[in-house]
Every structure is written in C-alpha cells, then in structure tokens.
Amino acid sequence: MDLKSTVLGIELGSTRIKAVLLDSDHKVISSGSYSWENKLINGIWTYSMDEVHTGIRACYADLKRDFKEKHSSVLKEVGAIGISGMMHGYLPFDKDSGLLAEFRTWRNTVTGRAAEELTSLFGFNIPQRWSIAHLYQAMLNGEDHISEIDSITTLAGYVHFRLTGERVMGIGEASGMFPIDSEIFDYDRAMLEKFDSLPLAKKLSKSLGDILPKVLVAGKAAGRLTPEGALFLDPDGDLLPGIPFCPPEGDAGTGMTATNSVAPYTGNVSAGTSDFAMIVVDRPLGVHREIDMVTTPSGLPVAMVHCNNCTSDINAWVNLFGEFARAAGLEINTGDLYTLLFKKALEGDADCGGLLSYNYFSGEGITDLDEGRPVFMRESVCSFTLANFMRTHLLSALATLKIGLDILTEQENIKIEKLYGHGGYFKTPEVGQRMLSAAVGSPVSVMETAGEGGPYGMALLASFMLRRSENERLEDFLENKVFACAVSHTVTADQRDIEGFERFLKKYASALEVEKAAIKAIS
C-alpha cells in the first residue's frame, strides 16, 4: 500500500474523538476512537487540556493498532492530515502559548450580555457560543487574563497548532469565531474595526484581527507535521514528520463535506449530543437570533440552526431500559436495544398521544433558556405506551431545530428540497429520517458513509488539498470524485406524521413555562 496516497481525518467530537484513514478511492481502511465527556465545573462546561492530549493520542494509537491488525505493517506516514473539532468555544493563550482560562465549550450559555451587545453593534447575529462572544463576555466580567491574551482559538485550532506550529483556521470554523465576509474570504473588516473601537477593547494588547487565527479556505496548505507534533500524536516515535495538513475545520464543516452538502441549495442535519442544520444559501439573510450565518469550508454563506441539546436525554432513557433488562436477567446488546426502542417509536401516535418532554441538559438559545433541566410529563388522560414514550423523546430532540428551520422557510422563504442526515440519531435505519422529514416536510437522505461522520469529512478535506486540480471547487471535487457512485437511502414522512409533529410542537411551545419552572425550582 502506498501510504502517501492515504489521508487521515481526526475529529474531537463532544462524546468521542475519532480518526479514519482513507485510501485513494476514499474508502475507510482503518479507524480509531476514544470516548470522553464534558464536565460542568464551577458553572462552565469544559474538557481538561490533559484529557485533550490523552484522548487524541489514545485515538491515534487505536487507529494505529487497527491498521497493523488489518495490514500487517506499522503506520509511519500518510499523504495528508486534517484536524476537526467541536465548533466555537474559547481557548485564550499568552505569548508563550500558555492557556489563560479553562476551555469554554460551545455548550455554555453564560455569554448572553456579550452576544446581545455584539449583535446590536454589528447588525449581525452573534450567538452565545461563538468565540467572540466568550472573549467579550470575559472582558465585560473584568477577567484578569484579558490583558495577557496573545491569541485565541478553538479546539481544532489548538490541536492543529500543537501538531504544526501554525495558528490558522479553516474558514468554516473561523466563521464560528467571528463574522466572515464571503466576498473576501476573511473576517469582516468593518466589524473588526467596530470591535476595536469599543472602550473595553483597549485592554487587549493587540487588535482583534491580530489575536484571531489566520483564515484559510479549503484546498489551501496549512502547515506540516513538526518533529514535536509527530511525537505529541505518536509517542512511540513511528510517525514521520513533514506530513502536510489542510486547514483545521469545525464539526459543522466536516458534516457538510461528509454528506456532499457544500453546494448552494443543499443542506444537512447533524444530530448527536447537539443537533444543527446547515443550509447553503445564495444571498444574505435578515438578522435572526435563531439563525447563525456561517460558511462552508470553501467560504460560501450558510444558514445554521444550532441546538445545544439532542440525544443526551434519549441516551439516558435507553440506559435506564438497559438497566431494567439486566435486572430482569436479559442480555441485550446496547446497539440492539437502541434499534428496538427507536423502531418502537414508529408505532406511536403521530402527535405522541398526550406525552411531552424537554431534553434540556443545558441551556438552549432558541428558546431563551440559559440553563436546562430534563423534563418528562403527560396529560392525565393520554395514551401512555412505550411507542409514544419513545416517539416523544425523538420528536423532542428535534423540536428546537424545527423552530429555527421554520424561520428560514416561513420568514426568509428558503426552500428546503432535500436534507442529508448524519450522526447517532440516524443510526437506526429509517426512524430518525422519518422524524426529521416530519419536522421539515421534505425528504431526508442518509448516505452509507454517514456513519463515519465528521472525521470522514475531515479526511475528504485533506484529500481535496492533496489531489485538487487547478481552480477545482470543493463541491465539484466531492460530486465527481467522491460521491459520484455513492449509495444513499431516502425517506419521506407521510402527511399524518407531518401534521402530528405540528400538533406536538404547538403543545411543546405552549408548555415551555413548565421547563422554566423546573429550572427555577431545581438548582
């Protein structure tokens, strides 16, 4: 095997760090993973940097073991590498690359004042999870580290720096740090100037543009693996330095790439711990608090609906059913249990028969909640069945996403003709697709490669950098060289499901006061 024709994608997701190695035909030949969870420490959702280091090394070691078992040789080099991670968040560093504050992830909803003030200043929606919102909130808080900041980045940018020494960012990930001007493929200069003119900005040692990482579009070279980076990733010393890297990206950009949804009028939904929809648009949209304007990895404008909560509550209930099964002396494989319960949801009433749930483990910007408490409730007279119970949690996982998508379709007249789904929510065939199709009223497709998700998309971006012809666009590369013969399965909800979701959502919206009361009552 010619290892220089392979590409490696690594993504640091919210519950797993995963790596995939692709051959020249973009087929997965090896993979590795490491499981982890964020922690709520002193009111901040975070991961320790020690676990970032441990996790990425363990993930790579797992891939390396898998490669040796399958190919009877030691993995020493690849053609190109790409690093991806959870979008947004806040990692500030001093001039000696020392971390100045704990890693603040996308899940935090502690930047409300900053997001509101910056949205007003820019005339552009700044969500709470964006890096600039975290930076400005720290400034509003009067945090001591502000004057020492030399650079800020995201998780993907940090790992990329550790491996290459380059402080750069893919444009899709950068668009979740600060607004992007898609005409110049860089940060919006007028907005940078507005920020620098703020009185609090004088406390920074540099202008904002010098603190943010350099923006690169897909296909550009973004550095090479240094000797120090090679040992950081592979302490065994087998991995050779000098391997080229593509620009680091966020999980939204890799999801778009993995589902061939980077061309105008295409869209995808990623549904796991969080869920978000990405619709590539052809024009600027109005300012909506529920809609983020980001970009594809090549810089095209994208309308993004992001929800902090999706499958965590489902996972908790499935674990409970698994515990019951074991107590009853039954041995059910976890994957089989998910499949059984998900399929049961298809038998439920279209509107869930009087059952309702809120899956809020954390705050949710779309519904104006800074905190969350998982809540399940039902009407006194209802159809309290296992099918309705599971269907309720599956619809609840998409409810806030639908609220945001309705703004796109009803207020901005964006037509969603077809969506691609990927992530754990869609792992059981047909079920998640049917629920999402009921929510949006459009067909939903899942590709056979969707199970590989973000790291697969990141590897494709590395391949694009390695193999692109002159002036070739990312969307053409994916369409003609990656997905030309791709197999996908499409599901369309029937009218009963669509109308049932609408009835469920009306109850969901009208009963939000219960969720607010739970947050207030349970500290």
Please tell me whether residues 505 and 363 are part of one structural domain. Answer: yes
In a domain? residue 235: no
Task: Write down the pLDDT at residue 282.
Answer: 81
As a whole number, mean pLDDT of residues 77-89 equals 96
Please tell me whether residues 394 and 517 are part of one structural domain. Answer: yes
Task: Write down the pLDDT at residue 449.
Answer: 63
CA 482/CA 139 separation, integer angstroms: 45
As a whole number, mean pLDDT of residues 289-304 equals 92
CA 52/CA 94 separation, integer angstroms: 19
Domain count of the chain?
Answer: 2
Please tell me whether residues 201 and 337 are part of one structural domain. Answer: no
Do residues 425 and 15 lie in contact, with contact meaning Cβ atoms separated by under 8 Å?
A: no
- What is the CB-side half-sphere exposure of residue 510 using CA atoms within 13 A? 6
Question: pLDDT tens digits for 422-476?
Answer: 888 998 999 999 999 999 988 999 987 655 678 999 999 999 999 999 889 999 9
Q: What angle do CA 345, 351, 355 make, to 5 degrees?
A: 80
339 backbone dihedrals φ, ψ, rounded to 5°: -60, -45
Task: Write down the pLDDT at residue 450.
Answer: 55
In a domain? residue 375: yes
- Domain range for residue 517? 312-444+494-521
Q: Is the pLDDT of residue 193 over 70?
A: yes
Of 178-187, 368-377, 484-493, the poorest mean pLDDT is in 484-493
Please tell me whether residues 357 and 501 are part of one structural domain. Answer: yes
In a domain? residue 160: no
Closest CA to 20 of 49, 62, 76: 62
Give the domain-ending residue among 169, 190, 211.
Answer: 211
Q: Bridge-partner residues for 7, per DSSP?
A: 22, 80
Please tell me whether residues 377 and 502 are part of one structural domain. Answer: yes
In a domain? residue 285: no
449 backbone dihedrals φ, ψ, rounded to 5°: -85, 0
Please tell me whether residues 505 and 357 are part of one structural domain. Answer: yes
CA 254/CA 249 separation, integer angstroms: 7
Which CATH number does the domain housing residue 119 bear?
A: 3.30.420.40
- The span from the first CA to the last CA of the chain, in angstroms, equals 57
Please tell me whether residues 335 and 188 are part of one structural domain. Answer: no
Task: Write down the pLDDT at residue 238.
Answer: 97
Per-residue pLDDT band at 152 (split at 50, 70, 90): very high
Pairing label, strands 28-35, 16-22:
antiparallel
In a domain? residue 96: yes
Question: Residues of 296-306 as b/e, b for ≥16 C-beta within 10 angstroms?
Answer: bbbbbbbbbbb
Higher pLDDT, 184 or 448: 184
278 backbone dihedrals φ, ψ, rounded to 5°: -125, 115
In a domain? residue 280: no
Task: Write down the pLDDT at residue 114.
Answer: 97
Please tell me whether residues 513 and 364 are part of one structural domain. Answer: yes
Kindly report the three-state secondary structure assignment for every residue of 16-79. Answer: EEEEEEECCCCCEEEEEEEECCCEEECCEEECCHHHHHHHHHHHHHHHHHHHHHHHCCCCCCCC
Please tell me whether residues 387 and 506 are part of one structural domain. Answer: yes
CA distances from 89 to 153, 302, 366 (A): 8, 19, 18
As a whole number, mean pLDDT of residues 110-136 equals 95
Q: Of how many residues is the chain composed?
A: 523
Please tell me whether residues 356 and 501 are part of one structural domain. Answer: yes
Please tell me whether residues 323 and 437 are part of one structural domain. Answer: yes
As a whole number, mean pLDDT of residues 500-519 equals 96
In a domain? residue 32: no
H or E stretch covering 194: helix 189-196
The alpha carbons of the chain give a radius of gyration, in whole angstroms, of: 22
Please tell me whether residues 188 and 329 are part of one structural domain. Answer: no
